[in-house]
Structure 1
Amino acid sequence: MSDTDLLPILLVPDARLRAKARPVGPGDAEAVRALAPRMLATMYKAPGIGLAAPQIGELLRLVVIDLQPDDRPEPYVMVNPEIVAESDQLAAREEGCLSLPNQYAEVTRPAEVKVRWQALDGSRQEMTAGGLLATCVQHEIDHLNGVLFVDHISALKRNMLLRKLAKELKARQRDGAPDGA
């Protein structure tokens, strides 16, 4: 896949990142099959481990995730994913986001989740995820609901992080770097 197939990643404060994505329906199947590989290519190039359709301006309930190194990709493409159960046990993990470049914060979430989704071939899938995969699944599904990882941290930390991001993006624009670079 060439760089021309890559998709621009929206950055905070783009309002589309706060919109709730609509379910993928039967009429979206062809578009979603075309979009998923481009989302994966964009995620790998960024580089990142997850990307939700709203992050590229598509308000569809579609996420791609791959925790593996580049030489052994094991991608998940999740259409209409939903968390159907979560553990009572919590885990804190540092999170970042391609829509908030170079910004990180520790977020506490359920340590384990059961997620159900539809694959590109239409089959129903379900798994129980723990560790980094559980965090990533929850983070990407949050995007489908207009929620960012910074919404899970204190207002003080969130405001500091968002001010830092705004300052960095302003400096990038001043220096002539593209927003998504």
Structure 2
Amino acid sequence: MPLLKIVEHPSEILEKKCERVTSFDQALTKLLNNMYDTMLEADGVGLAAPQIGVTKQIAIVDIGDKHGRIDLINPSIISFSGEQTGPEGCLSFPGLFGEVSRSQTIHVRAQNRRGKTYTLEASGFLARAIQHEIDHLNGILFTSKVLRYYEEGELEG
């Protein structure tokens, strides 16, 4: 699949609230597959549609755990609990990392590529990644939640 161009800050599309997906067709499947390939090539764990110039509520996450690839279409967090604080980066902010607080555990309702609604419970890093991508769909950037930025090389080791 051809790789898509990742939109970088300060592009205005990154701060727009995305529209719901209403058509679950071959074009959506192709877009999801292209997004996934692009995310892997960029060494990311998540990618939201506005990051490739599409203002639709579409995101993918794959942190390399038992859940594998998760397609999130029209996602919403229906409950959350606890708190975790840790490092985050973003493919739209190359080389920028900051400490962000997020919910430790979340329950998400979303649709898959065929339009079937499902729920998912996620904790830890998976919950962090999903929250980051859902924020993108609402025009919220991780930089608005950073408690402190990391200096170059601070995360290595």
Q: Please, what TM-score do these two structures have when normalized by structure 1?
A: 0.78
RMSD after superposition: 2.1
Match of 1:85 among 79, 84, 97: 79
Q: Which residue of 1 aligns with 2:93?
A: 100
Within 5 Å, give how 1:103-122 maps onto structure 2. Answer: 103-122=96-115
Of all paired residues, the percent bearing the same amino acid is: 37
Following superposition, the deviation at residue 31 of structure 1 comes to: 2.3
SS at match of 1:101: coil
Number of matched pairs = 152
Cα displacement string for residues 150-174 of structure 1 (whole angstroms, at most 9, x for unaligned residues): 11125xx57x99xx9xxxxxxxxxx
Q: Please, what TM-score do these two structures have when normalized by structure 2?
A: 0.90
Q: Which residue of 2 aligns with 1:12?
A: 9
Match of 2:42 among 46, 69, 93: 46
Classify 1:75/1:129 alpha carbon distance in 2 versus 1 (closer, same or farther; 3 Å). Answer: same
Can you give the 5+ residue segments of structure 1 that lack an aligned partner in the other structure?
165-181
Equivalent pair of 2:25/2:114 in contact (CA under 8 Å): no
Equivalent pair of 2:90/2:96 in contact (CA under 8 Å): yes
Following superposition, the deviation at residue 73 of structure 1 comes to: 8.8
**Higher RCO structure (Cα 8 Å, ≥6 apart):** 2
Can you give the 5+ residue segments of structure 2 that lack an aligned partner in the other structure?
153-157
Q: Which residue of 2 aligns with 1:65?
A: 61
Of Structure 1 and Structure 2, the greater helix share is in 1
Runs of at least 4 residues off by over 2 Å? 28-31
